[in-house]
Structure 1
Amino acid sequence: MNWKNAIRDYKLFLKIERGLSKNTIDSYSRDLVKLTNYLDQNDIKLSPITIDKEIIQQFIYEIAKQVNPRSQARIISGLRSFFDYLVFEDYRQTNPTDLIEAPKIGRKLPDTLSEDEINALIQSIDLSHPQGERNRTILETMYSCGLRVTELITLKISDLFFDEGFIKVTGKGNKERFVPIHYNAMKFITTYINQIRNQLKPAKTFEDTLFLNRRGKGLSRQMIFTILKDLAVKIDLNKKISPHTLRHSFATHLLKNGADLRAIQQMLGHESITTTEVYVHLDNSYLKKVVETYHPRK
């Protein structure tokens, strides 16, 4: 088995068996390509079956000079997943990364915006611009529902259940969930569909896609990043923001205003409550409020 075939089969496994998104699969693949490039550059003739712990440790040592500890930990995790797959498929007996320790990186708290900053971003959108109404609707929808950027750009008109007050979201691993949507976002989406989107001719296969570009096709992830960054510059927001910042802000603001952590977990589509608990660390007042409300000696 050579590296090219092994990586190809592994990508199919991630897609079919684990149901991972293209972006996640590409991330795993890039880490493996880094390893194969290292082997080529050092004229190391080892296959996925014969490579050992020592060579991988040498690779990690070299890559640590180029990336931060968080990226290094991610690469080790990606390699471990790949070799777990080879063991699972009986290509190898052991995983050479099992005894390789990832660097201690601690918990990284997500960046958030205040309610005033989010309002300033949305209010700075030029509604006289052809894409202004669409962009306002995009930001309102992301913040209202806490969507990942991929969930936003793949949202379909048939996913809107406004009579019930929900939208259907397809998240990681093609897992579907229903998320409540604020009436403001519903109002903006309705206006966008009736006054803006109906002026466009959707391209083939995009007839049901909610948010379209000027050519009638779906938006790219990069376009959403660009929209946000341009607005941040416009209001002199000295923070590094991304679409995920709106998602983090959605969760943090709900928690701050008394929302239950389990409810936030369901809305965000987190498999584990541990992932959602990071927001408690952003606002310790939540813990104080829980004790004051529910402790028997209040």
Structure 2
Amino acid sequence: MSVHLYSETAWKRRAKARKMVLKVINHLILIAGSVVFIFPLLWLVSTSLKPDTQIFKVPPELIPKPFVWKNYVDMWIYFPFMQFLKNTLIVVILSMAGVLITAPLVAYAFARLKWPGRDIFFMIVLATMMLPGQVTMIPLYILFRRLGWVDTFLPLWVPAWFGGGAFYIFLIRQFLLTIPKELEESAIIDGANYWQIYAKIMLPLIQPVLTTIAIFQFMGAWNDFMGPLIYINDQAKYTLSLGLRLFQQQTSSSQTEFGMMMAATTLMVIPVIIFFFLGQRRFIEGVVLTGMKA
């Protein structure tokens, strides 16, 4: 009996030790992966603080010697960062508002309401995801030019007010399908209409997926380069992504100011990182829960 207890205890100890070793290995792999992914960001910040003579030094040095804060000062003088930031915020805020207001409405109609041809229309919406952006680029430009929207911000945010795109509609619809129908039926018995059910029951429950699409839309609008390049002609209306390209072109004729460029890029990246970390928990929750029920 004692031998049996000893062997069982030893087996538990070995299992616990094996579990601890696997846990350590998993953490080491995750740390190594995080270092690989975070290295470009560290290199960006490091380069923004280096003198020009140290940027292309071989082998490269991650820690600047000395720290050159002058790159940020010069960037602020020679690069109209605030003007481009204001233009970018206009596009980002209006496009995010459009997506967060209209995409849940469309998804709610596809997920919870019954109407003739609902599934057929939903398949048509999903089919638009198979169209490359290059296919619709020229027709959209012709349309916006005839509307007189070229060289304005309208083409960059108005389309977001028409459902936000099939991908967002699909994500929210799949999330809505995970909500029990009993909640909706109880609200109807209590005399609530569809608008009240949507506003008081559905919207609070889909906050995780709304945070997910808010992050996606923020990053997409913030980093958008092709849209402003096609529709914006006036340099005073450039967004940050297009402004950085303009700054590079203006300095490439003599010598590209990589220190100032990296400083401007660092300031452009910081809001994206902050926005992601603020909504990180709900973002992961939204990704995990979306699509659990088809």
Shorter-chain TM-score: what band?
A: under 0.3
Task: Name the structure where strand makes up a greater proportion of residues.
Answer: 1
Question: Which is bigger in relative contact order (C-alpha 8 A, separation at least 6)?
Answer: 2
Give me the TM-score of the superposition, normalised by structure 2. 0.24
